Amino acid sequence: MLSRIWLTAMFFMFASVSQLSVALDSPCNTSPTQGFEARSLTVTEGADAQPKNGYYQLYIPTELPSGAAPLLVIVDDGVSALSASDAVHLENAAEARKYIIAYPQRHEAWDTGDNTADVDYIRAVVADVESNHCIDKRRIYSAAYVGGGAMIARLACDAADIFAAMTFSESDSVGDYGHCLDPVGAVEEGATATPLVLSRAASTSHYDEPLNTQSLDFMAANPRAASVTSSGRVEFEWLLVGNPGNAADISSGYGAVDHTFLIAKYEVTNAQYAQFLNAKAVSDTLNLYSVTMSAGVGGITRSGVPGSYSYSAMPGRENKPVNWVSYYDVLRFTNWMHNGQGEGDTETGAYTLEGGLAVPFNAETVQRNADARVFLPTEDEWYKSAYHNAKGLKETDYFLYPFRSDEVSSCSPPPGGENHANCAQAVGDVADKGSYPESIGPYGTFDQGGNVWEWSVGLVAGVLPVMRGGGYDVTGPDSLASSWRDQWAASGEFSFTGFRVAAPATADAPAATPKPVAKSSSGGGSFSPLFLLMVLLLLVFGRRPDSTL
């Protein structure tokens, strides 16, 4: 019964794998083998380095799409054979969502003690599959059923480098290695004691009911991410923002979102933006690069002449958030991601930008397209991911500060403590992404308070996008609060401004349309004549020459 429940759950675990366009396929040739295949291995395992024989069963669905496929490794108690009924469920799930399944088999129970033999064996199984099939190395998962929880825990300790996520039943014993599993519940928090995304799903007595569907979808949407891959591809580590249909924060009117979506765990970095520039700014007719990026607290240099420009993240600043980017630069970055990077277009995709100029002709009416696959979060999406009380940790629905706290955040150098951030010149510079490991947002984000203000989609007076979260600069901890929002000219580029991206949880997730903004401004006041004069000057001059801010 339990095995069938888990197999059904696996179907949902990969519900968004084939749909997520942000998962970048690696070009390789896929073996024409289809259906079940039995494979034998001779593996040198464990501390005694003795060769041992093993075998596993593999299921390859028909008509796999081109590119790399995800791999699911099923771990049971090590003794039970793959039954005919289990095989049917595995086959149906794999066929529906086009992922490959490996079923390692032992003639004895898994050794979950100090001997690494069985970990070595599972590593060898994964390597063997990779040598014969086109596998997305960022989407290798493991799931336990029929008493496989202890082996999952062991893999979490000793094979976290190859698995992007694991899941097991909360009724399973996790043995001596349970400390490698996050006891809090990483699905809601997005944080674990290991690099893995872990889900401890609740048991159920219903055969056809998926276990914790939201958490399994979340795992499927979370590839193992690097800032920039060896092939020069930009990737993000995604976090699921669930609880669709939540109410707005009664204190501000923001935060209501009617759909599930993904938010990037970190702000976009200099290394990632430099890849974008190298792909799309060899002439830079759209002013995607600002010369201030190479000075002060910037992080990207440019060399060459128009037509052959090249860009590099400055040594030691690769993982700092990119700054000196305008609102239009950000929209073009998301279009490029939407269109598959490389030569992908910057003027169409998530947003349609008309005119071919740095400031598009339709600047005042740009909205997210319905099929957007990577995009800038709306203000409501950004607000929810930063302040929403996702786990019911207190009576009210929202926190006042973006680190699951109602207490005023502290501005301090990293690593700080809980509810600490890079603000009020505590560092005097932007900090590397994730430098405050104990300051985590309600959905698992880092740095939604401090470091750099983040652009979001929500135009004031048609031309003033909203920024939230506060930055490293002179603004104090109050600027991190949910009550504080700011607006600047869309063409402006500032040392204290960066961004993070979002994506639909599945291909059919509804795309949100930014609603008109007629709510309180920074600190809740109205626009003063001086503020409007500043806005006019920014619209005229656009860029900010002072690189010390």
Name the least confident of 126-135, 150-159, 292-301, 480-489. 150-159
> Is residue 67 in a domain?
yes
Extract the tokens encoding 404.
């699951």
Q: Please report, for the domain that includes residue 27, its CATH number.
A: 3.40.50
Regarding whether 312 and 432 lie in a shared domain, the answer is yes
**Domain end call among 220, 253, 287:** 220
Using pLDDT thresholds of 50, 70 and 90, give the confidence band for residue 7: very low
- Mean pLDDT, to the nearest integer, of 213-223? 46
More confidently predicted of 53 and 121: 121
Percentage of residues of the chain with pLDDT beyond 90 = 40
The whole-number pLDDT of residue 482 equals 96
What rounded mean pLDDT belongs to the chain? 75
Regarding whether 304 and 201 lie in a shared domain, the answer is no
More confidently predicted of 463 and 406: 406
Q: Which of 531, 534, 521 is nearest to 485 (CA)?
A: 521
Burial label for 410, CB within 10 Å (0-12, 13-18, 19+), is middle
**Over 60: is that where the pLDDT of 168 sits?**
yes
**Over 90: is that where the pLDDT of 356 sits?**
yes
More confidently predicted of 84 and 312: 312
HSE value, Cβ hemisphere, 13 Å, CA-based, for 375: 31
The rounded distance, in Å, linking the Cα atoms of 299 and 271 is 9
HSE value, Cβ hemisphere, 13 Å, CA-based, for 147: 8
> Is residue 228 in a domain?
no
Q: Assign 168 to helix, strand or coil.
A: strand
Using pLDDT thresholds of 50, 70 and 90, give the confidence band for residue 236: confident
Q: Which of 266, 270, 258 is nearest to 300 (CA)?
A: 270
Regarding whether 339 and 273 lie in a shared domain, the answer is yes
Asked whether the beta carbons of 367 and 515 are under 8 A apart, the reply is: no
Domain housing 216: 2-220
Tell me the per-residue pLDDT of 253-307, one tens digit each, with 9 for 90 and over. Answer: 999 999 988 899 999 999 999 999 999 999 999 999 999 999 889 999 999 999 9
Regarding whether 205 and 240 lie in a shared domain, the answer is no
Alpha helices in 55-174 (DSSP H): 84-97, 117-132, 149-158
The tally of domains found in the chain comes to: 2
**Over 60: is that where the pLDDT of 77 sits?**
yes
Regarding whether 490 and 376 lie in a shared domain, the answer is yes
**Domain end call among 220, 251, 271:** 220
Q: Which of 337, 332, 349, 320 is nearest to 227 (CA)?
A: 320
Regarding whether 161 and 255 lie in a shared domain, the answer is no
Using pLDDT thresholds of 50, 70 and 90, give the confidence band for residue 332: very high
534: Cβ contacts below 8 Å, ≥ 6 apart: none
Regarding whether 303 and 197 lie in a shared domain, the answer is no
**Over 80: is that where the pLDDT of 53 sits?**
no
> Is residue 226 in a domain?
no
Regarding whether 427 and 281 lie in a shared domain, the answer is yes
* Strands of the sheet with 135-144, listed across from one edge: 35-45, 50-60, 100-105, 69-75, 135-144, 165-169, 197-201
The whole-number pLDDT of residue 105 equals 78
> Is residue 102 in a domain?
yes
First and final C-alpha spacing in the chain: 62
Regarding whether 364 and 251 lie in a shared domain, the answer is yes
Regarding whether 435 and 480 lie in a shared domain, the answer is yes
Extract the tokens encoding 272.
């990632």
The whole-number pLDDT of residue 452 equals 97
More confidently predicted of 90 and 240: 240
The whole-number pLDDT of residue 304 equals 95
The whole-number pLDDT of residue 40 equals 83
The whole-number pLDDT of residue 145 equals 65
Using pLDDT thresholds of 50, 70 and 90, give the confidence band for residue 214: very low
> Is residue 22 in a domain?
yes
Percentage of residues of the chain with pLDDT beyond 70 = 67
Highest mean pLDDT among 34-48, 149-163, 174-188, 420-434: 420-434
The whole-number pLDDT of residue 89 equals 64
The whole-number pLDDT of residue 498 equals 96
> Is residue 230 in a domain?
no
The whole-number pLDDT of residue 459 equals 62
Q: Please report, for the domain that includes residue 527, its CATH number.
A: 3.90.1580.10
The whole-number pLDDT of residue 169 equals 65
Cα dist from 301 to 306, 314, 532, whole Å? 14, 7, 34
**Over 70: is that where the pLDDT of 176 sits?**
yes
> Is residue 225 in a domain?
no
The whole-number pLDDT of residue 31 equals 53
Q: What is the pTM of this model?
A: 0.61
> Is residue 268 in a domain?
yes
- Please list, residue by residue across 215-244, b when 16 or more beta carbons sit within 10 angstroms of its beta carbon and e when fewer do: bbbbbbbbbbbebbeeeeebbbbbbbbbbb
Burial label for 114, CB within 10 Å (0-12, 13-18, 19+), is exposed
Residue with the two structure tokens 């054979």: 81
CA dihedral 268→270→276→278, nearest 10 degrees, is: -170
Residue with the two structure tokens 């990969």: 14
Regarding whether 274 and 185 lie in a shared domain, the answer is no
Regarding whether 68 and 168 lie in a shared domain, the answer is yes
**Domain end call among 220, 250, 281:** 220
Asked whether the beta carbons of 33 and 76 are under 8 A apart, the reply is: no
